[in-house]
Amino acid sequence: GWQLMRSGFKDVPKIEDWLEKHLSKGQVVAIDPAVHPASFALSLRQCLEDKSVVFKCLAENPVDAVWGNDRPSFPAGPA
C-alpha cells in the first residue's frame, strides 16, 4: 500500500533517509527527471549508490501511462 508523507512536516523523514532505511543492495529507485530538480537527482543518486542501490532516470513517467486517455483535464482556473 501507499502512505502519503508530506515533506517538511514534523516526524516526516527526508526522502533520502527513508529510502536508505528501507532499501537493500541491488534494489532500484527510478524517478522522472522532468519533475525533480537536477540537484535533488544528483544528491539522491549519490546517497543510493553509497548503499549499492541502483538509481535510474525514466524516459517516461509511468503514472502518465496508467492514466492513458482517462486522465482528466487540467483545471482552467487559477490555483
Dump pLDDT digits (tens) for 9-52. 999 999 988 998 999 999 999 999 998 999 999 999 999 998 99
Residue 79 has pLDDT above 80, yes or no: no
Residue 69's pLDDT band (cuts 50, 70, 90):
confident
User: d(Cα 52, Cα 17) in Å, to the nearest integer?
Assistant: 15
pLDDT of residue 43: 92
Size of the chain in residues: 79
DSSP secondary structure letter of residue 77:
S
Residue for grid cell 517538511: 8
pLDDT of residue 42: 94
> What nine digits make up the cell of 22?
528501507
